[in-house]
Structure 1
C-alpha cells in the first residue's frame, strides 16, 4: 500500500468514528435538523437543492423566465448573489421584491418561482439512502424539522407507505401536537413549504406571531432543552434568523446542553475553530469525512449504531461510571428533578440527552 492509499485509508477510518455520547442516545431523545445538504445528496440533479446560493440563483432565473421581475432587478440580484456572502439577506430582499408591499406575504411570485424550480421532485430522487435512514429514526421516535422548502422526505416516506405530514409554524395546534411527539411522521418546515404560500415564512416579520405566542415558544424551546438536536446537512442554519429566534438565542444555559452538528472537514484549522465556537452553544461539531460523497454512507452507519438493540444491562449502567457527575446535574436540570419529591436516577441512555453542498 503506497502513501496515498494509506492516507486515504486513514481518512476513511477516521470518518467512521462515532461519539459514544451520540450513538448511545435513544432515537426518541434526538431531533434531526435537516438542511440543504440532505436534499443535495438525495437529488443532485436539481441544482437549486444544492445550497442557498444555488436556490437563490435558480429562483432568479425562474423569475426572469416567468417575467415576474424587471430585467434591471434580475441583473442587480445576480450581482448580489455573486458577491454578497450574507445570502439570507439577499434571499429576504428577493422574496420581498416579489411580494406585496403591504407586508402580507400570501399572494407572491416567489412561491410560483419555487414551484417552477422544484417541479416533479419525486422524479429526481437518485440516492434515497439518506431518506431511508431518516425514516428509520422517525419510526423509533426521532423528531424532524427542516429549514428546506422542499418536501423530498415526505414524498419518499409516502412511497414507503408512511403517513407523512408536512407542518408549518402558522398551524399552532399541529405544531403543539408535533412538539409533544404526537405526530410521529410529521416534518416541521420552519420556513414553510413551497407548495403552501400561506405557510411560508419569508423574512423575520413572518414569524412574529409565533415568537409572540408564549405557548408555542415554550413548547419549541423545551425541545431544545430536553432533546439532542442533530444538525444534518446544515451549513447556514445557525445563522438563520428564524432558527436563532426560535432556539439558539432564546434558550439560556446552552453550554449545559448537548447537541451535534455533522460537517465536512475541508480545512483543519477552520474545522477546529468551528468546533470550539459551537461548544459555547452546547453543540458538538463532528466531521463525517473530507468529501461530500461520504455523507450518505456516514448517516446510514450512524443510524445503524443508534438503532442497535442493547442488552437490558446496558440500560442500567449508571451515568456516573461513564461521564461523571456533571452530566447527571445537566440531566437533572433538564428533567426538573429538583422539584420532584422522589428524584429518579439519571440514566445516560434515557436522559442524557453552507454555503454549497460540499461545505455542509
Structure 2
C-alpha cells in the first residue's frame, strides 16, 4: 500500500492484486516500455514517447545534413498527422539508407548515437531501475520495446552482469528464455548501440518468425509466465510484439498477465479493463498522475520480494522440523528453539 511521499504529496492508497503480489519473481516477465525511461531520464526528449523519439531523429538528421530540407519538412508533417508512426520511422530509415535500398541503417546509426548520447549522465530518478533490478535478482526476466540501455547501465553500476540481447542472436535469446542468462534484457526492436539490430516492421522479422524453435520458446514464455507491462502505452498494438506472442498464442483468457496504467478517465479505464481481460491481462492503475508511477513500482517490487522472502523462510522452518538422521527428536527441538531465540539460522549436524 502506498504512503505519502516525503514532499507531502498525498498519494491515494492503492491495493496490489494478491495474485500479483504473491507471484514468485521467477514467474514474471517485466515488459519495459517508454514510460519507464521517461521517468528515469526526463531530460532526454527522445525518451518521452515514440513520437518524440522520431522527432529527435529528424532533428539530428537535419543537423548532420543527411536529409534534404524538403524531406525534413515532409517527415515533420507526417509525424504530426499520421497514426502509424512505425511506418513513418521505417520510411525515415530507408530515406537515410538509399544506397542499400532497404531498412538497414547507415546515417541512421549516427542520428541514434546523437539522440541517445551519454545516457547514463541523464539518469535523474533511478527508483524504477533499482526496483526492476531487485526483481531480476530474484529471477524475473526483462523484455523491452525501448532502444535505450538505461537499465543495463544502472545495473552494471550496481555490480550486476547486465547483458543487452536482440532477436538476431538466437543462441543468446534461447539461453535467456531458459534462464541461463539471469541479467539479460531482451530488446525486441533492437538497441541504439547496434542499429543493425533495429527492426521496425514484421517483415524484418522474417527469419525469426520462420525459426520454429525460437518462436515456440517465446510463445511458451508468454503462455507459462506472467507478463507485467510497465510504462507500456502502445505495446499491445505493437506489430512486433503481436507477431512474437500476443496474437499467436491460443487460450489467452486462461492466462494471467498484468498492465499498469495511469487512470485519467474512468470510462476509458474500465472499457480498457474489460477489453484486456479477454486477452488474459488484468489492468491496474497506479493513480491519476505520472509522478505516482516510480513510487508504485518501488512498493510493488518490495511487496513481491517480501512475499518471496517470507515463503522461503517458511519452507526453511518446515525443513528444520523434518526428521534428521542420527539426531534424537529432543536434540532437534533444542536446535530449533536456539534458532528461534537467536533469530539466526542454525544448521543441524548429522
Specify the TM-score bucket, using the shorter chain as the normaliser.
0.7 to 0.9
1:231 corresponding residue in structure 2: 229
CA distance in 2, matches of 1:180, 1:93: 36
Q: 2:93 aligns with which of 75, 92, 95?
A: 95
1:310 corresponding residue in structure 2: 310
Q: Aligned to 1:158, what secondary structure does the other structure show?
A: helix
Unaligned runs of 5+ residues in structure 1 are: 1-8, 316-360
Q: Which has the larger radius of gyration?
A: 2
Deviation at 1:101, TM superposition (A): 6.4
The CA deviation string for residues 80-139 of structure 1, in whole angstroms up to 9 with x for no partner, is 111223222222222222234655544422222111100000100000111000000000
CA distance in 2, matches of 1:118, 1:169: 21
CA distance in 2, matches of 1:312, 1:61: 52
1:60 corresponding residue in structure 2: 58
Q: Give every structure 1 segment of 4 or more consecutive aligned residues whose post-TM-superposition deviation is greater than 6 Å.
A: 312-315
How do residues 1-360 of structure 1 correspond to structure 2 at under 5 angstroms?
12-14=11-13, 16-100=14-98, 102=100, 104-308=102-306, 309-311=309-311
Deviation at 1:205, TM superposition (A): 1.9
Unaligned runs of 5+ residues in structure 2 are: 1-7, 316-350
- CA separation of 1:312/1:126 partners in 2, compared to 1, >3 Å: closer, same or farther? closer
Q: Aligned to 2:261, what secondary structure does the other structure show?
A: strand
Contact 2:93 2:105 in 1 (8 A): no
- CA separation of 1:127/1:313 partners in 2, compared to 1, >3 Å: closer, same or farther? closer
Q: Aligned to 2:291, what secondary structure does the other structure show?
A: helix
RMSD: 2.1
Contact 1:95 1:202 in 2 (8 A): no
- Return 213-222 or 108-117, whichever deviates more: 108-117
- CA separation of 1:104/1:81 partners in 2, compared to 1, >3 Å: closer, same or farther? closer
Contact 2:86 2:201 in 1 (8 A): no
- Return 245-254 or 90-99, whichever deviates more: 90-99
- CA separation of 1:264/1:70 partners in 2, compared to 1, >3 Å: closer, same or farther? same
The CA deviation string for residues 9-51 of structure 1, in whole angstroms up to 9 with x for no partner, is 9x8334x210001101000000000000000000000010010
CA distance in 2, matches of 1:312, 1:189: 32
Q: Aligned to 2:117, what secondary structure does the other structure show?
A: coil
After TM superposition, the score normalised by the length of structure 2 is 0.84
Contact 2:12 2:287 in 1 (8 A): no
Matched pairs, number? 308
